[in-house]
Structure 1
Amino acid sequence: MPEFDIIVLGGGTGNVVASAAADEGLDVALVERDRLGGTCLNRGCNPSKKLVHRADVVRTVQQADALGVEASVEEIRFADIVDEVIGKITAEAESKAETARESDRITFYRTEGRFVGERTVEVDSTAESEGAGGGPVELTSERIVLAGGSRPVIPDSIEGTDEVAFLTSADALRLRERPDSLVVVGGGYIAAEMSHFFDAMGAEVTVVGHADRLVDREDPEIARHLTDAYAERHEVHTGYEVTELAEDAPNGRDRGEGDGSDESRDASGHDDGEKVVRAESEEGDEITVRGDEILLATGRRPNADAWNVEAAGIDTDEEGFVETNEYLETSADGVWAIGDVAGNYMFKHSGDKEAEYAVRNAVRGERAAVEYPGMAHAIFGSPQVGSLGKTEDELDGDYSVGIFAYDRTALGSALETDGFAKAIAAPDGEVLGFHVVGPHASMLIHEVATGVAAGADADRIAETVHVHPALSEVVQGAFREARGFPPTGI
C-alpha cells in the first residue's frame, strides 16, 4: 500500500497543488483519469474562448457595413478552426503530463480513483510515471486535496436521452463538422457562448431555456438585454422545460408517431430526418423544434459521487457539493476540497485562488482562511456580460442604481452598440454590485474588481480620473449616476 506525503485528486486546478507540493520536497500522488489541465483546459474555458474569438471575428466582419466598411466573410474553415484549437490545448495538456512524469516527486496515476476509506484512495496500478501494472492499488496519505471537478448535467426529466444522440459542451467543442441547424437546450452561460459560436459559424440556432430569460442568474436588466439580443439572431424559446428528445424518420414523421401532418412540424417546416426536441411551459403550452444536432447545456454537477467521498466520511450538501469551511477543510480530518467539487464558486479563477490556499494549508501546514477579493465573472457571448457582487433582485433595503449606456461615451458611440453598465451602491458608498453588457464587458469588469479588492468604494471609482475617450468611461458613468455626481469629464 503506497504511502505519500500528500495525494491530490484531480489534475485540473489540483495540478497547481501537486506541482507546488513537489517543489517543496513532498512525495506526491496525482490522480487524474483524463488529460492534465482539467475541464478548463481540455473541455471548457480555454477551447471555448478560443473558438468564441473566431466567432467574434466573424461577427465583426459581418457588422463592418454599419461603420462604412465593405467587407464579407468568404469562407469559414470550420474543421481547420477546431483542429487548430484542439491541437493547441492537447499539446499544452501533454506538456503538463510530461512535466509530471519527469518529476522525481510526483507519481502520476492516469486512471480512475475512488475513496475506499479515511484518507485511502483506490486506483488502478497503472501509474504513468511507473509504467503499467495489474489490479487495484490503495494509496494512503495523512493529507489529501480533492480537486475532483464537475461534469455536465443530463436531466433525468428529459425522456429519450438514452436513445437519441446529443452533444454536451465537451462534445460540441470538438465537433469537426458544423451542423446546419442546432438546438441548444439550456439558457445559461454555456448555452449563450455556444449559441454565439455556432451561429457565427453559419448554423441556424434554436435556444430552449426553462427560465423566462436567458442567463437568468445575472442581473434582471442585463439578462433581459442579452435575451433580446439573442432573439434577434436565433429562434429563442424561454419559459419552456424540455421533456423529450426524439428523432425524425426519413419520411418526415417522428419515429413512433402518427402521420407527420403539418400540425406536427415546426414553424420553419423542418421535417426531414432531423432530431426533435419537445418542451412544455408551466401553462401547458407545447413546442416542438428540430435540428441536425442537439446540445444539452443544462448545467454542471460536482464529481463528489464519482470519487465515492462517502467512504472517506466527507459530507456533501443536498446538491452534491463537498462541504468545506473557510480553510477549505472538509468534514474528514486531513482532507481539503477546492474548485468545482466544493462549489464555493464554479469558476476557474476562483479555483486557482483556492489552490493557493490549499498550498498554504495542506502543503505548508498553515491555517489561512480563503478570501475572494473582488470576485467577478464574465460570459463570452454576443453581447458579452461582466458581473460582480449582488444583482438588484438579490437586494433589500436602501441602495442607489446608476445605469450608463455605451453610446453616451465617445468610443462607445463609435461601436454602434446599445450596451450599458449598471452600478449598485449602498448609502455609505459601498459597492454592492456592478454589471455590464456589451463589447469588452469581460475586461471592463476588472476595473471594479480591482477597485473593490483594494478597498475602494463607489465614490472612489466615480472620481478616479479616466482616460478619455476610453471605453472605461462607461464604468465611471454608471458609478457617477449611482452616487449622484455630475457627468464631469464624460
Structure 2
Amino acid sequence: MKPKMQEDIQRTRSSPEEYELLVLGSGTAGKLISWTLAKHGMKTASIERKYVGGSCQNIACLPSKNVIHSAKVASYFRRSEEFGITKGDWKIDMQGVRARKRKMVKDLVDIQIDHYKESGAELLMGSGRFVGPKTIEVTSADGVIRLLHGKQVVINIGTHATIDPTPGLREVNPLTHIEALELDRIPEHLIILGGGFVGVEFAQAMRRFGCRVTIVDRNARLIHREDEDISAALHELFRDEGIDVLTGTRITRVEGKSGESVKLSANRNGSELVLEGSDILVAAGRTPNTDGIGLDLAGVETTSHGYIKVNERLETTAPDVWAVGECAGSPHFTHISENDFHIVHENILGGHRVTTGRQVPFCVFTDPEFARVGLSETEANEGGVAYRLAKIPLSAVQRARTLSETRGFMKALIDTQSDRILGFSVFGVEAGEIMASVQVAMIAGLPYTALRDAIFTHPTLLEGLIALFNNVTPASVPASKA
C-alpha cells in the first residue's frame, strides 16, 4: 500500500463521519427505517454489501414466488385437457423463466434506489464492520475505506443458508436458494436436503419444470413442526406429483460435483442407503450473518446460535444500537421484518412499542398453499390449551369446485370458554388470502360467530368460512381436545 493511501486511511479512522442514524444492511426493516427517519430530517446512511433492498426482493421471497408461479403455469399446460383445452407442442425454457425473474428483480431494485434518493438517505455500497461502539468501517468494492459514527445504529444483516458439516457436502459445491433461482437448465435429478418451507416450495416448482426430485429430511415428516394432518396432506400431494420423499434420513457423506453427478450415503431408520443425482440443493436451515463484523467491539452480544441478543423493544446489549429482522432472531418472514421496522421506528422517536404478543401469520407457497395464523393443534396441545376444533374439506367450498382445486381443508381452533378464535389453518387454493380474512377477525377480537353469520359473495373461497364455523361445537356442549 502506498504511503499516501495509508495516511488517508489513518486520518479517516481517527475522524469518523458523523450521522444521526446508521443502518447496517438494507433489508426490509433497515431500508424502511432509513427512508422514514431520513424524511424526518435525520442524517442517515445505509450500508449494503451487495443486495440493495435485502434478500427478499433479490434472492428469496419475491424471486422464488416469481419462479414458483412460472412452474404453476407449466402445471396448467400439463392439465390442459382437464379444462377442455387440447395439448399442443410446448416446452419449458428455463432461460426464459430466469429472464422473467431477473426483470422483476431489476425493476424492484430500481424502485429501492429511487426511494433512497427521494428520502435523502445515503446508500453506501460496501462491506461494513464495527471497529468500536456505534462506529462502522465501510470498505467499498474498489478498496475505498470510510469510517462512520452514528448517534443511533440499526443492524439488519440477515441470515444465509446453513450448510451442515457433513463430510463432502461443501466440497460438492451444492446449490442454495440463491443459485437455484439462477438455473438456466432443468436438472436431471435434484436432491433437496431439507423438508421445511424452502425445500418443499422448490421441490414442487422444479418437479413441475420436468426435473426428477427427491427430498431428504432428517425429521419424521415434511414441515414437521406443523400438525400431522398438514404434513400428511403435503406428503400425499408430493406422491401424486411424483416427488420422492425420504424422511427420517441422515446424510453421512457426499461425493461428486453438483451440476454433474453426486452420490449421497445416508442412514434411514437404521438402514444404509445410497442416493445418486445430478444436483444438490441445501435447504436445511439458516445461519445469522453475525460472524466477522466486530460485534464484540461494538458491545453487541449474541446468543449461542449467533443471533443478536435483543429485548422486546429490539434493543441490543449496546446503548442506542438496535437489531431487526432475522439476525435478531425474529421469525424468518419479511412481514415480521417490516413489523420490526415499526417497532424500532417508534422507539427511536421516543415511543414504546414491543414485540411481545404479536401475531405471526405465514404462508407456504406450494400449490395448493398452506397458511396459518395463531395456534396449531400441536401448539395448543403442548401448551395445555383447551379448544374446540372445526374442520371441513376444500371440496365443500363451491368456488374450489369451479376452479378444479378441491385438494385440502380448512380448520379452526376455538376457545372452550368463549367464542374467541385461537388459530386457523388452511391447506388449499389461495390459502394465504383466506387466512388474512380470519386474521383480521382475530385482530379485531371478533367471535367466530361473526364469520359464521357473515354474508360473503357467492361463489368465493371465503364462503367456506361460513361452512367451517358452522361446524363449531356450541360452547354449552362439553368438548375434549381433538
TM-score (norm 2): 0.88
Aligned mate of 1:154, from 163, 177, 194? 163
Q: 1:243 to 1:97 in 2, by over 3 A?
A: farther
Match of 1:439 in 2: 429
Bigger shift: residues 463-472 or 166-175: 463-472
Letter in 2 for 1:96: Q
> 1:20 and 2:36 equivalent?
yes
Match of 2:202 in 1: 194
C-alpha displacement of 1:344: 2.3
For 2:219 and 2:448, the matched residues in 1 are separated by: 32
Q: 1:328 to 1:27 in 2, by over 3 A?
A: same
Match of 1:266 in 2: none
Residue deviations 1:113-152, cap 9 Å, x none? 12222211222167xxxxx663x43321120111111111
For 1:385 and 1:397, the matched residues in 2 are separated by: 23
Residue deviations 1:147-183, cap 9 Å, x none? 1111111112x11123212100011001112212211
> 1:52 and 2:41 equivalent?
no
Aligned mate of 1:387, from 346, 356, 372? 372
Letter in 2 for 1:280: N
Match of 2:401 in 1: 413
Residue deviations 1:212-240, cap 9 Å, x none? 11111222211211122112221111111
Match of 2:3 in 1: none
The secondary structure found in structure 2 opposite 1:481 is coil
Match of 1:254 in 2: none
> 1:7 and 2:22 equivalent?
yes
Match of 1:277 in 2: 264
For 2:19 and 2:457, the matched residues in 1 are separated by: 54
> 1:429 and 2:419 equivalent?
yes
For 2:429 and 2:151, the matched residues in 1 are separated by: 49
Match of 1:358 in 2: 344
Match of 1:322 in 2: 308
Aligned mate of 1:475, from 460, 465, 472? 465
The secondary structure found in structure 1 opposite 2:184 is coil
C-alpha displacement of 1:370: 4.0
> 1:235 and 2:250 equivalent?
no
For 1:88 and 1:65, the matched residues in 2 are separated by: 31
For 1:99 and 1:469, the matched residues in 2 are separated by: 40
C-alpha displacement of 1:385: 0.5
Asked whether the equivalents of residues 6 and 27 of structure 1 are also in contact (C-alpha less than 8 Å), the reply is: yes
> 1:403 and 2:391 equivalent?
yes
Match of 1:245 in 2: 254
C-alpha displacement of 1:381: 0.9
Bigger shift: residues 38-47 or 453-462: 453-462
Letter in 1 for 2:251: V
Aligned mate of 2:99, from 77, 83, 87? 83
Residue deviations 1:38-90, cap 9 Å, x none? 11010101100011111111212322433444345612221011012113202
Residue deviations 1:410-440, cap 9 Å, x none? 2223425331011111111222211111211
Match of 2:297 in 1: 311
Asked whether the equivalents of residues 173 and 257 of structure 2 are also in contact (C-alpha less than 8 Å), the reply is: no
C-alpha displacement of 1:107: 3.0
> 1:41 and 2:57 equivalent?
yes
Asked whether the equivalents of residues 314 and 332 of structure 1 are also in contact (C-alpha less than 8 Å), the reply is: yes
Letter in 2 for 1:436: V
Match of 1:124 in 2: 139
Match of 1:257 in 2: none
TM-score (norm 1): 0.87
For 2:226 and 2:353, the matched residues in 1 are separated by: 31
Please provide the CA RMSD for this pair.
Answer: 2.3
Asked whether the equivalents of residues 404 and 478 of structure 1 are also in contact (C-alpha less than 8 Å), the reply is: yes
Letter in 1 for 2:388: S
For 1:59 and 1:177, the matched residues in 2 are separated by: 18
C-alpha displacement of 1:366: 2.3
For 1:429 and 1:336, the matched residues in 2 are separated by: 39
Letter in 1 for 2:264: V
Asked whether the equivalents of residues 307 and 329 of structure 2 are also in contact (C-alpha less than 8 Å), the reply is: yes
The secondary structure found in structure 2 opposite 1:450 is helix
For 1:243 and 1:389, the matched residues in 2 are separated by: 37
The secondary structure found in structure 2 opposite 1:310 is coil
Q: 1:460 to 1:104 in 2, by over 3 A?
A: closer
For 2:252 and 2:372, the matched residues in 1 are separated by: 32
C-alpha displacement of 1:371: 6.5
Identity, % of aligned positions? 28
Q: How does 1:89-128 map to 2 (within 5 A)?
A: 89-97=105-113, 99-100=115-116, 102=117, 105-124=120-139
C-alpha displacement of 1:9: 0.9
C-alpha displacement of 1:95: 4.1
Residue deviations 1:184-235, cap 9 Å, x none? 1110111111111111111111111111111112222112111221122211
Asked whether the equivalents of residues 47 and 85 of structure 1 are also in contact (C-alpha less than 8 Å), the reply is: yes
Q: 1:121 to 1:394 in 2, by over 3 A?
A: same
C-alpha displacement of 1:298: 0.7
Residue deviations 1:428-469, cap 9 Å, x none? 122221111121112111111111122223222222222232
Q: 1:320 to 1:191 in 2, by over 3 A?
A: same
Bigger shift: residues 413-422 or 41-50: 413-422
Match of 2:47 in 1: 31
For 1:10 and 1:194, the matched residues in 2 are separated by: 26
Bigger shift: residues 367-376 or 219-228: 367-376
Letter in 1 for 2:322: W
Residue deviations 1:256-310, cap 9 Å, x none? xxxxxxxxxxxxxxxx9621222223x3222222222110111112222353323
Q: 1:45 to 1:306 in 2, by over 3 A?
A: farther
Q: 1:341 to 1:248 in 2, by over 3 A?
A: closer
For 1:287 and 1:425, the matched residues in 2 are separated by: 45
Q: Which ranges of structure 1 fall in alignment gaps of 5 or more residues?
A: 127-131, 250-271, 486-490
The secondary structure found in structure 2 opposite 1:402 is strand
Q: 1:273 to 1:369 in 2, by over 3 A?
A: closer
